[in-house]
Amino acid sequence: MNYKLSLVTLLLLNTLNASMDHSNSNENNTSKERSNEFSEDPETKALELKERKLSLNNTLKEEALKSKHAALLTKLQELKWEKELLSEEFALKELETKTSNYEVKVKYEKEIEALEYLARVETINDERANAKIEKEKQERELEISKLKSQIEVFENTKIREKYVNSKPVYLENPLTKENKLVISDRRISINGTIRKSMADEITKKINYFNNKDKKQPIFMVIDRSPGGSALAGYMILKAMKGSEAPIYVVLRGYAASMAAIIVTLADKSFAYAHSTILHHQPLSVAYGNLTEQEEQLKRLESWWIEFGGATADKMGITLDEFKAAMYKNSSNGDWQELAVNAQKLKWVNHIVDTIVDTSVLEEPKKKEPKKRSLLSLSNFEETVNEKGASVVYLPRLSPSDSYFLHNPSGYYQFR
């Protein structure tokens, strides 16, 4: 808008100047013409005077006009100066605004730069702190690793200490001149009540040891057994008889009933002098009517003939003599002898002073006491009857089976 005003003002000034120059030129020409004509006649002179008067009026008007033009020019000049002043002020304001904006920008840039610097410092500090933490973590992990390694070494040492740094001893003739019996790891344990599951396991082990080596002896070690199922004992005796590898039955504690029959009927048997062997007639509980009970009695007699007859044959006496001797030694028919005396009766072959078991290569584990439960009915485990007494309930056997079990105190009971 100011720019357009300046152009209009300049055009107006140029027009006024051109007009004034044209008037001055006309006035000079007119004066010359009048001076030439004034001297000619009065009338002309009067006209010239009138003309000069008009000329003076025109001059006055022109002067007035010039004065007016001068005022306009002055006003225009003032306006021009005001414009320039306003332009200068505007430029100054703009410069101040730019300067202010620049200062604000510089201020903000400095603040941002300071914040970025602080952020970099914080980042460096964080990196140093993280590096320190990582170093401490690695040191702790190294320490933990060392401790774990020490614990592992300690535990491995403890585990190694549980094992013997030797191997089982295998002798084709395990009875030494010092009357010491050396047992290898070809070993089968018979402890507790003899039952079908035990007979199955013993039969498998006898077959396994035979398949591995038919010359080295197999040891069946009895610590304590009151006897058990006649059928299970029969299976064990048949597996022993079918073994090509020699089977040594070793009694270290107590063998009664079916367990005593296994010791006595073995081809080779060994025992400590004060181990106990007990023979008696088979035990049974009859169920059903009279005819069924008579049938059970016949089966019981057949077991007695099978085992009692074989034992009597080894002793060199008849079955009736064996039965009579039982009741002669005990009113209840439980014929019990120490092994040193049982040897004379041919119930055991050898009395040994020492038994060395080289199969024990690991420290024996402590057995935790078993909790009594209803499962004891089928697992031959000890439980408590309704009177509060500790008992073992015997499961019913198959119709063809009977118990060869020593039970003087009624510890083994039937339901």
Q: Which residues pair with 412 in a beta bridge?
A: 392
Distance of CA 106 to the CA centre of its chain: 59
- Distance (Å, rounded) from C-alpha 165 to C-alpha 159? 12
CB neighbourhood size of 364 (10 A): 7
- Distance (Å, rounded) from C-alpha 65 to C-alpha 58? 10
For residue 356, give the amino acid letter: V
Which residues neighbour 221 within 8 Å (Cβ) at sequence distance 6 or greater?
A: 183, 187, 188, 189, 190, 250, 252, 357
- Distance (Å, rounded) from C-alpha 270 to C-alpha 281? 23
Length of the chain: 415
Q: Give SS3 for 10.
A: helix
Q: Give SS3 for 173.
A: coil
Joined tokens for residue 216: 């080295």
Q: Which of 382, 380, 384 is nearest to 397 (CA)?
A: 380
Which residues neighbour 415 within 8 Å (Cβ) at sequence distance 6 or greater?
A: 377, 393
In contact, 246 and 268? CB cutoff 8 Å: yes
Q: Which residues pair with 250 in a beta bridge?
A: 221, 270
Q: Which of 188, 220, 171, 182 is nearest to 353 (CA)?
A: 182
- Distance (Å, rounded) from C-alpha 351 to C-alpha 273? 6
- Distance (Å, rounded) from C-alpha 348 to C-alpha 340? 9
Residue 284 phi, psi (nearest 5)? -155, 160
For residue 44, give the amino acid letter: T
Task: Cite the active site residues.
Answer: 257, 280
> Would you report the helix, strand and coil content of the chain in percent, each value rounded to 5?
60, 15, 25
- For the four alpha carbons of 27, 30, 36 and 39, in that order, the dihedral sign comes to negative
